Amino acid sequence: MDQPLPIASVCEESVFGKIHRDFSTRIRNFIYYKSGDLELSNDLCQESFVKLWEHCKSVAMEKAKSYLYTVANRLFIDSVRHKKVQLNFAAQRLTEIDSEDPDYKLRHDEFKEELERAISDLPENQREVFLMNRIDKMTYEEMAAVLELSVKAVEKRMHLALANLKNKVQELKIHKI
């Protein structure tokens, strides 16, 4: 009645190491999207992997990814649920044209700041889905799998995030760069 031992186990260091290399940035980002606190996110990311290691016997390899998201979420809840959240990102400018037009750059920077604030003000579940899709480049199917939601639920959250951001931008009339 017992299942045979899996051939590759999370308890094997090479396997665990690969999982860590492949997912630590995403997990760290996931917590950052929720908290806006990079230091906390780095710490909790480490803790999540430590927990995975401690429970390696009871987590199947295919489940490791969603286990990490679940643990990271739980650790986040344990620490700072109600602190005010403000996220910041480094923007990679695709061209340097803006440096020649200070006015353009100013408006562009203002837009970025307002957008960061608007994203930080989104409800947590909308915010994390939006950023996981745009920054981590995760598909709706991937997100559905790791967050244990239906694809439809992910799409709804995504739609709400964009709708809220659109409304905010319209309010502020700052999108006309």
Partner 1 sequence: MDKDTLYARWLNNELSDSEIQELKASGDWDILRAIVDETDTWKLPEVSDQQIKSIRTRIDRLKNKRETKVIPINRWTWAYRAASVAVIFSLVYWFFFRQDIFEYQNLEGNIATIQLPDSTEVRLIGRSRIQYDKKNFARARKVKLNGQVHLAVRKKGEFVASFDGGEVQVLGTQFEVMTGKTVSRVKCFEGRVKVLVEGKPESILNPGDGVRYLFNETSGIPFTFEEEAPEWFGGESIFNNAPLEEVIEALQIQYHVDIDATNIDVKRKYSGKFRYDDLPRSLEMVFSPMGIQYTIEGTTNKKISLQ
Can residue 18 be called a binding residue for partner 1 (CB under 8 A)?
no
Torsion angle (degrees, nearest 10) of CA 121, 125, 127, 133:
-170
- Are 44 and 31 in contact by the 8 Å Cβ rule? The answer is yes
Q: Among 60, 62, 110, 152, indicate the residue that binds partner 1 (CB under 8 A).
A: 152
Can residue 166 be called a binding residue for partner 1 (CB under 8 A)?
yes
Residues that bind partner 1 (rule: CB under 8 A) add up to a total of: 53
Q: Among 58, 84, 96, 102, indicate the residue that binds partner 1 (CB under 8 A).
A: 58
Annotate 124-144 with DSSP letters as a single string: HHHHHHHHHHHTS---HHHHH
Q: Which two tokens stand for residue 39?
A: 């230091």
Cα(160)–Cα(130) distance, rounded to whole angstroms?
Answer: 9
Can residue 42 be called a binding residue for partner 1 (CB under 8 A)?
yes
Closest CA to 123 of 167, 168, 157, 75: 157
Can residue 175 be called a binding residue for partner 1 (CB under 8 A)?
yes
Q: Which two tokens stand for residue 113?
A: 């700041």
Residue 145: CB minimum distance to partner 1, A: 13
Summarize as ranges the residues that interact with partner 1 (CB under 8 A).
13, 16-17, 20-21, 24-25, 28-29, 32, 42, 45-46, 49-50, 53-54, 58, 70, 74, 77-78, 81, 89-94, 111-112, 115, 119, 133-135, 140, 148, 152, 154-156, 158-160, 162-163, 165-166, 169-170, 175, 177
